[in-house]
């Protein structure tokens, strides 16, 4: 009797564990194959260009809106928290540090995950279930190179650029609030920002951007590629892509911050 | 005796515990049109996907032109794909491209044909399958099911393949459109001198396009022969299938 209970327990524990390890293996193989195909010809330059446009250019409005309000709210909060000890100089540096190191990368990552990760998973998932990916194979075209390489490369290279733009717009948001709402001197704000700016603030944003871009494109492609069974499967893939990339972005955000600042 | 274009020996494929192909032996001669019939879920699509290298079989051998393709390296498989064309059940047209770009896909991406020339060739192919040049710039989603099948057929024959696969070419079409597609299949396959492998459960279509028919049941080829032999066979499985009876040795799994 006791043996049965133990056996059942192990069995219950075993199956999800085996499935988990299997998924991890599948994903690792997928990553290896995708990276290998990123660095070997042929390259589809035109498709890469379109992905740059889709992921980068068309994401600018959402990135701009989220980062400008992030910068604004940080300025406001810093003022309410620091007003008793010289808020004017504190606002510029708090906005700078929080926007460049954390807010701009994370918001860019999450917004692009929602916008692009979902679209990638839906498009590739639909191509999978309507046999368009098989059709590519029968037309002697490697789906990894044709579909995944342009997306992954665009993700890796475009997200850092978006983060940089987010940095600038976020800091500008802080500037707007402290000058027009709180009535501080604009010249002082700019001088404070420039004095406080360090190379690490930019580097960390670029690193995070590249990693998040890879995560978003990878999750979009992988979940789309693995989708099965029609509309429901594609819907699931889309959800999984967004949820997985959002969670991974937050986890890796912590890890990268840890790598940069604990030495 | 003409040579075998495709030779399959003892092919096995299972998904988990579900055995789909259980020792398939099949030979297709050069220029022959073989139709594989069988009920839904008997592994017809899996068979085609194994030959194309989209799925990897568990064991067995598939030879195309005497060249083993199971577990072959990428170079050999690429060369194989260059020889093959396929008409997918749902058309599988790329919806991010226009109709003519779909038809010319293989020409542009692999044969490196200039776009202008490829478009002219695409329009010619579209005419060949009975479509007017004005559909060339439409998107596939603007076409009816029958038209999509025609475009897909044009794409399959664009690179002049030596082997063409037809996956349920008439499913979802009305009887007249089915017959039109059947005629086009015969025309295009014969026109290219290509070897054709069709899977279908549409008996009217099978009778029309087959030189030879093979029946797939429970992962095995249980019968092969010409259309005439099929009509005279005593094989109870074949008789039940071609007559479409619910009573007989084939039990429908619900």
What ipTM was predicted for this assembly?
Answer: 0.85
d(C-alpha B171, C-alpha B152), whole Å: 14
What per-residue confidence (pLDDT) applies to B235?
Answer: 87
Within a domain: residue A124? Answer: yes
What per-residue confidence (pLDDT) applies to A263?
Answer: 65
Asked if A139 and B53 come within 8 Å (Cβ–Cβ), the reply is: no
What per-residue confidence (pLDDT) applies to B1?
Answer: 44
Domain that holds residue A100: 59-261
> Is A130 in CB contact (< 8 Å) with chain B?
yes
Domain count, chain B: 1
User: At CA B227, angle to CA B223 and CA B232, rounded to 5?
Assistant: 75
Which residues make Cβ contacts (< 8 Å) with residue B58, sequence separation at least 6? B12, B13, B14
Name every residue in B having a CB less than 8 A away from some CB of A.
49, 52-54, 78, 81-82, 84-86, 88-90, 92-96, 105-106, 109-110, 155, 159, 165
Nearest to B92 among A132, A140, A141 (CB): A132
pLDDT, tens digit (0-9, with 9 covering 90-100), for A149-192: 999 999 999 999 999 999 999 999 999 999 999 888 899 889 99
Within a domain: residue A135? Answer: yes
d(C-alpha B192, C-alpha A198), whole Å: 68
Within a domain: residue B251? Answer: no
Q: What is the CATH number of the domain that holds B16?
A: 3.40.50.300
Q: Choose the mutation target among A122, A130, A138, A144 for the interface with B, i.e. most B CBs under 10 Å.
A: A138
> Is A132 in CB contact (< 8 Å) with chain B?
yes
Q: Tell me the chain B residues in contact with residue A137 when contact means C-beta distances shorter than 8 Å.
A: 52-54, 81
Asked if A139 and B88 come within 8 Å (Cβ–Cβ), the reply is: no
Asked if B49 and A141 come within 8 Å (Cβ–Cβ), the reply is: no
What per-residue confidence (pLDDT) applies to A1?
Answer: 63
Within a domain: residue B248? Answer: no
Nearest to A135 among B78, B88, B96 (CB): B88
Within a domain: residue B178? Answer: yes
Domain count, chain A: 1
Write out residues in chain A with pLDDT < 70, as ranges: 1, 84, 263
Write out residues in chain B with pLDDT < 50, as ranges: 1
Within a domain: residue A196? Answer: yes
Per-chain mean pLDDT for chain A: 90
pLDDT, tens digit (0-9, with 9 covering 90-100), for A7-39: 888 878 888 888 889 889 999 999 998 888 888
Q: Cα separations (Å) of A151 from A55, A205, A227?
A: 9, 20, 18
Domain that holds residue B228: 4-47+58-243
């Amino acid at each position: 009797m006791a043996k049965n209970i133990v056996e059942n327990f192990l069995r219950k524990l075993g199956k999800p564990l085996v499935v988990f390890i299997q998924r991890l293996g599948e994903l690792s193989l997928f990553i290896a194959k995708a990276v290998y195909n990123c660095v070997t010809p042929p390259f589809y330059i035109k498709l890469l260009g379109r992905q740059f446009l889709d992921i980068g250019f068309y994401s600018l409005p959402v990135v701009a809106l989220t980062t400008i309000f992030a910068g604004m709210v940080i300025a406001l909060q810093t003022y309410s928290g620091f007003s008793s000890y010289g808020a004017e100089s504190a606002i510029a540096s708090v906005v700078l540090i929080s926007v460049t190191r954390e807010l701009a990368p994370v918001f860019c990552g999450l917004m692009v995950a929602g916008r692009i990760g979902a679209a990638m998973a839906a498009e590739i998932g639909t191509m999978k279930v309507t046999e368009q990916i098989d059709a590519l194979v029968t037309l002697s075209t490697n789906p990894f190179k044709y579909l995944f390489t342009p997306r992954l490369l665009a993700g890796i290279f475009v997200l850092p650029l978006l983060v940089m733009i987010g940095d600038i717009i976020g800091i500008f948001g802080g500037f707007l609030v402290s000058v027009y709402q709180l009535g501080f001197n604009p010249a002082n704000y700019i001088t404070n920002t420039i004095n406080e700016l360090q190379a690490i603030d930019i580097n960390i944003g670029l690193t995070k951007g590249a990693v998040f871009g890879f995560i978003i494109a990878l999750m979009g492609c992988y979940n789309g590629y693995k989708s099965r069974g029609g509309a429901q499967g594609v819907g699931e893939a889309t959800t999984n892509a967004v949820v997985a990339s959002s969670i991974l972005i937050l986890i890796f955000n912590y890890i990268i911050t840890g790598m940069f600042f604990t030495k | 005796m003409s040579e075998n274009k495709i030779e399959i020996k003892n092919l096995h494929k299972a998904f988990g515990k579900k055995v789909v192909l259980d020792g398939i032996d099949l030979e297709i001669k050069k220029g022959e049109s073989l139709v594989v019939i069988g009920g839904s879920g008997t592994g017809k699509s899996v068979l085609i996907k194994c030959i194309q290298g989209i799925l990897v079989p568990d064991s067995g051998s598939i030879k195309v032109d005497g060249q083993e393709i199971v577990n072959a390296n990428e170079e050999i498989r690429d060369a194989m794909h260059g020889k093959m064309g396929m008409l997918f059940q749902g058309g599988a047209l790329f919806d991010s491209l226009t109709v003519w770009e779909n038809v010319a896909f293989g020409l542009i991406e692999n044969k490196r044909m200039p776009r202008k020339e490829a478009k002219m060739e695409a329009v010619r192919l579209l005419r060949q399958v009975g479509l007017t040049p004005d559909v060339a710039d439409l998107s596939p989603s603007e076409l009816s099911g029958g038209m999509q099948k025609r475009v897909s057929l044009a794409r399959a024959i664009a690179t002049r393949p030596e082997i063409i696969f037809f996956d349920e070419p008439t499913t979802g079409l009305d009887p007249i459109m089915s017959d039109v597609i059947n005629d086009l299949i015969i025309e295009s396959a014969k026109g290219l001198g290509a070897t054709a492998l069709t899977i279908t459960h549409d008996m009217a279509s099978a009778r029309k396009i087959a030189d030879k028919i093979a029946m797939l049941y429970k992962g095995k080829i249980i019968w092969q022969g010409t259309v005439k032999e099929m009509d005279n066979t005593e094989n109870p499985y074949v008789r039940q299938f071609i007559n479409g009876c619910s009573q007989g040795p084939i039990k429908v799994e619900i």
